Amino acid sequence: MARIAVGGLMHESNTFATSRTDLTAFESGGLEIGDGIFQRWGEAHHEVGGFFESAAKNGFEIVPTLMGWATPSGPLTSATYRELTDRLLQALQEAGPVDAVLLALHGAMVADGEDDADGSLLAKVRSLIGPSRPLIVTLDFHANVSPLMVSESSALIAYQTYPHVDQRARGKRAGDLAWQAATGLIRPTQAMSKPPILIHLLAQETGREPMKGLIAGLEGLERSQGFLDASILAGFPYADVAATGPTCIAVTDNNLALASEMAEHLSASLWNYRHQLTATPPDAAEAVARGLATSQTPVILVDLGDNIGGGSAADSTVLIHELLKQGATRSLVVLFDPDAVLACQHAGVGGSVALSAGGKIDRNAPPLRVTGFVEVLHDGHYVEKLPRHGGIRNNDQGATAVVRLEGENRLVLTSLRHPPFSLGQLTSLGLTPESARFIVVKAAVAYKAAYAPIAGTIIEVDTPGLTASNPARYTYQRIRRPILPLDPEPIVEAVV
């Protein structure tokens, strides 16, 4: 029976954030060893759950090592990166002889002093396990893939959906390839190509053309003789590193020339759609006015500049100020504000509070000064059983309070930054999101798996913040140049 080590470290690092991610963020998000990995991820709609599913199907033994995950935020401190890397390497060493290694990485992790944190980690793992042992790695659709990540792994298997609802399936695919490689049935060989473009976050959605058609084309490729897998990764634009941007990867059975040819073909196809891989959403004032003019409710206002899944502050008040300014009623807005939660706890359910909520980290609008009544106090834990972006089953938004304002507007105040990937964030509090007129989601696309089924109208809003949707808003210093849309269009004869 083949023995395959399983582990991973996952973090999406926004290098434009001044905050830093430390060990406590991983301890809060998820940091498990041994059997704890199965207990947290075994039944989840996550790639690690797919690893376990593949093991059950193929009959290989999983040797669990260490799995760490933290909410997207600023880069890791150098000490945190070193500590987590050392722990994973030690766990792999203690696993004893294994026939292959399966790792779940995000692919856009950055640490102080280490722009290519995932690549550096893979190089250390490769040094530990030797040059010939299969090392199969899953990546997020938003990974910024470096040459080092490709050279130090046997195969990179990325999600093919955004919102990410295929994580478990892609994990299972990676597990199947690891088992086949471990038993000598295949020899994964891969190549990559990167077109010189930054894709607008809204255009990365895989249910929206042209990305929809590009991803659909991968299915036929993977069924071709000699191919094992193929990926188009949109990249994470909120990281100022050399590898930032989309990547096309082709994995074959011991045929590097074929892998290189197809990776370049996919990259050229992506480049051909460069003028369609953008978007021009309205600003806050126009978006709220449009929402007030429609009868198709609830209106989902997508706060692009405060996209928590991209590492934002989670406390921007830009949209709630605009909603109140234009007289909106039955609005539902979530803000990260531990101090406001504490004030609500002191007041108790039914108590009145005068709050200065949000706007403490994101300074694009002032804190919201309001009075209201505490309707709900909750510990913030809830379970999501369906496939959702991120694949997390057991969720925690920290101690949470619901405050009712005038006009039946409601604030949900959380003590942990928590992205809107599940309606359970609201329904666990006794709220009925379908009855709201407006719901602000601090996201870009990932919320859709949960919110699109209940939405009457969706309006994406070009708000300011750490995750503003247009890359031209940022000052990049370390990415490849020239690159669209930051520079005049480069002449591309052969995309490599």
| pLDDT at site 251 | 97
Helix/strand/coil (H, E, C) string of the chain?
Answer: CCEEEEEEEECCECCCCCCCECHHHHHHHCEEECHHHHHHHCCCCCHHHHHHHHHHHHCCEEEEEEEEECCCECCECHHHHHHHHHHHHHHHHHCCCCCEEEEEECCCCCECCECCHHHHHHHHHHHHHCCCCCEEEEECCCCCCCHHHHHCCCEEEECCCCCCCCHHHHHHHHHHHHHHHHCCCCCEEEEEECCCECCCHHHHCCCCCCHHHHHHHHHHHHCCCCEEEEEEECCCCCCCCCCCCCEEEEEEECCHHHHHHHHHHHHHHHHHCHHHCCCCCCCHHHHHHHHHHCCCCCEEEEEHHHCHHHCCCCCCCHHHHHHHHCCCCCEEEEEECHHHHHHHHHHCCCCEEEEEECCCCCCCCCCEEEEEEEEEEECCEEECCCCCCCCCCEEECCCEEEEECHHHCEEEEECCCCCCCCCHHHHCCCCCHHHCCEEEECCCCCCHHHHHHHCCEEEEECCCCCCCCCHHHCCCCCCCCCCECCCCCCCCCCCC
Looking at the predicted structure, is the pLDDT value of residue 493 above 60?
Answer: no
Whether residue 83 is predicted with pLDDT greater than 60 in this model: the reply is yes
Over range 387-408, report the average pLDDT.
94
For residues 52-76, average pLDDT: 97
* pLDDT given for residue 317 in this prediction: 98
pLDDT at residue 366, rounded to an integer: 97
Domain ranges of the chain: 3-276, 284-468
Predicted pLDDT of residue 222: 64
Tell me what percent of the residues of the chain surpass a pLDDT of 90: 94
Mean pLDDT of 484-496: 70
pLDDT in tens, 105-115: 999 999 999 99
pLDDT at 471: 83
Q: Label residue 472 by pLDDT band (50, 70, 90).
A: confident
Q: What is the arithmetic mean of pLDDT over 150-162?
A: 98
What pLDDT sits at residue 495?
A: 46
Average pLDDT over residues 368-372: 95
Dump pLDDT digits (tens) for 8-48. Answer: 999 999 999 999 999 999 999 999 999 999 999 999 999 99
**pLDDT higher than 60, residue 476:** yes
